[in-house]
Chain A
Amino acid sequence: MNAPVSFAESKLPLLLGALFVIGLIAPFAVYPTFLMKILCYALFACAFNLLLGFAGLLSFGHAAFLGTAGYVCGMMVRDVGVTPEVGILAGTVAAGLLGWLFGWLAIKRTGIYFAMITLALAQMVFFLAIQIKETGGEDGLQGVPRGHLFGLLDLSDNIAMYYLVFAIFCFGFFVIYRTIHSPFGQILKAIRENEPRAISLGYDVAKFKLIAFIISAALAGMAGATKTLVFQLASLSDVHWHASGEVVLMTLLGGLGTILGPVVGAATIVTLQTQMPDSVGSWVTVIMGVIFVICVLSFRRGIVGELQALIKRSGVN
């Protein structure tokens, strides 16, 4: 009975290894900036999935972490003049701290109220971003230099920048993978499955949720900070609630609660968004809406989730 599970698990390292190799050679086949955009959103979606897929917490304010980290990184690199790795670290830490505050407030409630609190807090961040002078309002933070990694490696070269982004993505992905498959991750899954029971077994569920929230926020921030360096711009659209909605779509489309689902979802959505406007113009939002409805109605497990179920079925028969 456990054969399909161990089948999928034994094949996972192989699959990840293959994807890693593809990631290494990809910039020679595909436009690197496009790949970097996919990787940034993939990390963002993976971070979001840690919270929704494994802790059962629907945050509707993750744009705040993506965007805030972008602004912090942009200011540190452009105005303070730090090296890019310090800028990314600063953005990550800032998002983590903001996540601490958001999480601390939001986990006092569950379900729709939790989601609404995160949305409301994220809207406050958006309001601040548009009002205060330092963030550049509608224009965002422009002209952020990519700089030299550790003061040595020139990142204005797209291939060099790509490998930095790829390394950051791999690091973030590993952190998430490890968190899910850790003693902490076990309890997180237990809370997702049956919260009152986890309490009755003596676990302070609020602490577990808060730690998960902070990790998720920090990694979402890491994605945002990296994205700022790639595009040399911290944009207002990254703190907009659209970004919070998009990450929900990416995760659901790819497969909620699967380790690779958010990556597939992010790649699909970014590809559609980048390629479609040439042929269909502003219809792109309508097409995304239709995709979302089809996904939720007919393949709720998402692309990766459905594939897993297919493999499992064929393994049983």
Chain B
Amino acid sequence: MTDFILETRGLTKEFKGFTAVSDVNLKVERGTIHALIGPNGAGKTTVFNLVTKFLPPTAGTIHFKGEDITHEAPAVTARRGFVRSFQISATFPHLTVMENVRIGLQRKLGTEFHFWKSEKSLNKLNDEAMALLEAVDLGSFAETVTAEMPYGRKRALEIATTLALEPDMMLLDEPTQGMGHEDIERVVELIRKVSANRTILMVEHNLSVVANLCDRITVLTRGSVLAEGTYAEVSKNPQVLEAYVGSDNMNDAHH
């Protein structure tokens, strides 16, 4: 039997008479890289916000590792090892790169509410933080104030911070958006590297990234699932091709 780490049943979200997500049954298999694609406004980010509990669903249930998490607070879901990123790079801009990663590591010390303790007590996390930064090629930036780094590096930092939580499942919202060619390659390699022993669900517009990175693809249009399968299967589906006419051209990805 296939092991699904994340499963949604009849997931629906309505905003004042407009249905953003309608009856989505998403199943993400443990250990795979799963892509969520679709034209603009298809509801991809809404699905992300729903499964990570940042938005309450109108109907349907969400199961993570077999447990119903539909009515959980978002921070609680995150502590289960189910961690998301955001469309706009999610860093703490005025903290240093090292401090950013330490925020991710800090919770396991159990001192996050200790306002009477010196922040020097956090220095014991520095080695671990440095190792995470080295893993995403940011070792030399440790003391830099995050806001001063180029965009692609910020996305790498975001991934390092997420990895600090040792999540079982990561959600990446358009990890290559707004990037130049070289940055894209770097991030794709990074995602491949961190996907070992992990499940990744990602929203991605760049179809060549999807084609060479993702094991399974779910296509959303107007809030509903249009197709699901491997890239080869999905890219031949006439309905999918039709949905993409006038926006991204599915076939362009092969060139």
Would you call B103 and A183 a contact (CB within 8 A)? no
| Residue pair B114, A201 in contact (C-beta under 8 Å) | no
What residues of chain A lie closer than 8 Å to B84, measured between beta carbons?
A: 200
B75 contacts across to A, CB distance below 8 A: 199, 202-205
- Are A215 and B92 also in contact (CB < 8 A) when A186-B102, A201-B107 are? no
Q: Kindly state whether residue B204 has any CB partner on chain A within 8 Å.
A: no
Pick from A183, A187, A193, A200: contact of B117, CB under 8 Å: A183
Distance (whole angstroms) from the CB of A259 to the closest CB of chain B: 14
Binary A-proximity of B77-98 (CB < 8 A = 1, otherwise 0)? 0110001111000111111100
In the bound complex, residues from chain A placing their C-beta under 8 Å from that of B86 are: 196-197, 200
**B170 CB to closest chain A CB, in angstroms?**
11
Chain A, interface SS category: helix
Residues B95 and A179 in contact, CB atoms below 8 Å apart: no
Chain A interface: which of B15-23, B37-45, B118-126, B205-213?
B118-126
Q: Judging by beta carbons under 8 Å apart, are B111 and A183 in contact?
A: yes
* CB 8 Å contact bits of A177-201 with B (1 = contact, 0 = none): 0110111111101100110111111
**Quick check: is B104 within 8 A (CB to CB) of the other chain?**
yes
Asked if B115 and A215 make an inter-chain contact with CB atoms under 8 angstroms apart, the answer reads yes
Cross-interface CB contact of B109 among A1, A183, A190, cutoff 8 Å: A183
| Given A1-B143, A201-B107, also A187-B112 (CB < 8 A) | yes
Q: How far is the CB of B82 from chain A (nearest CB, A)?
A: 10
Q: Which of A2, A190, A200, A203 has the most CB of B within 10 A?
A: A200
**Residue of A179, A183, A194 ringed by the most chain B CB atoms within 10 A:** A183
Cβ contacts under 8 Å, A181 to chain B = 118-119
B171 to chain A, nearest CB (A): 9
Question: B55 to chain A: closest CB distance in Å?
Answer: 12
Whether B78 contacts A199 by the Cβ 8 Å rule is yes
A109 at the interface (CB under 8 A from B): no
Q: Does B99 contact A (CB under 8 A)?
A: yes
Contacts of A211 in B (CB 8 A): 113, 115
| Interface check B59, CB cutoff 8 A | no
Query: Is there contact, CB below 8 Å, between A196 and B116?
Result: no
Set A190, A200, A215: member contacting B95, Cβ < 8 A: A190
* Cβ-based interface call for B52 (8 A): yes
* Contact A197 to B73, CB < 8 A, known contacts A183-B112, A183-B119: no
Residues of A within 8 A of B103 (CB): 186-187, 190, 198, 201
Contact between A2 and B74, CB atoms less than 8 A apart:
no
A207 interface contact, C-beta 8 A: yes
Report which of B93, B115, B118 forms a contact with A193, defined as CB distance below 8 A: B93
A182–B114 CB distance below 8 A: yes
Interface size class of B (residues with CB under 8 A): 35 or more
A-side interface residues, number (CB < 8 Å): 30
In the complex with contacts A1-B144, A181-B119, A183-B106, A203-B112 CB distance below 8 A? yes
Contact check, A201 vs B104: say whether CB atoms are below 8 A apart: yes
- A contact residues around B111 at 8 Å (CB): 183-184
B118 with A178: CB separation less than 8 A:
yes
Whether B143 and A178, one on each chain, are in contact in the complex, defined by CB atoms closer than 8 angstroms, is no
Q: CB-CB < 8 A to A186: which residues of B?
A: 95, 99, 102-103, 106, 119, 122
Chain A residue at minimum C-beta to C-beta distance from B148: A1
Answer whether residue B201 sits at the interface, using C-beta atoms and an 8 A cutoff.
Answer: no
On chain B, the residues within 8 Å of A2 by CB distance are: 96, 143-144
Chain B residues closer than 8 Å to A182, beta-carbon distance: 114-119
B11 at the binding interface (Cβ < 8 Å): no
A1 to B142, CA, bound (A): 11
Separation in Å of the B106 CB from the closest CB of chain A? 6
How many Å from the CB of A267 to the closest CB on chain B?
26
Which residues in chain A, 185-244, are within 8 Å of chain B measured between CB atoms? 185-187, 189-190, 193-194, 196-205, 207-208, 211, 215
Closest to A184 in B: B115
**B50 contacts partner chain A, Cβ-Cβ < 8 Å:** no
Q: How far is the CB of B180 from chain A (nearest CB, A)?
A: 23
> Could you tell me if A196 and B90 are in contact, using CB atoms closer than 8 angstroms?
yes
In A155-183, the 8 Å CB interface with B consists of 178-179, 181-183
* Given pairs A194-B92, A200-B85, A201-B78, 8 additional interface contacts (CB within 8 A): A179-B116, A183-B109, A187-B106, A189-B92, A200-B52, A200-B78, A200-B83, A201-B83
Write 24 A-B pairs (CB below 8 A) sorted by A numbering.
Answer: A1-B144, A5-B145, A182-B118, A183-B111, A183-B112, A184-B112, A184-B115, A186-B103, A186-B119, A187-B103, A187-B112, A190-B95, A194-B90, A196-B86, A199-B54, A199-B75, A199-B78, A200-B86, A201-B78, A201-B83, A202-B75, A202-B76, A202-B107, A211-B113
Interface residues of B (CB under 8 A from A): 52, 54, 73-76, 78-79, 83-86, 90-96, 99, 102-104, 106-107, 109, 111-119, 121-122, 143-145, 148, 161-162, 165
Interface residues of A (CB under 8 A from B): 1-2, 5, 178-179, 181-187, 189-190, 193-194, 196-205, 207-208, 211, 215
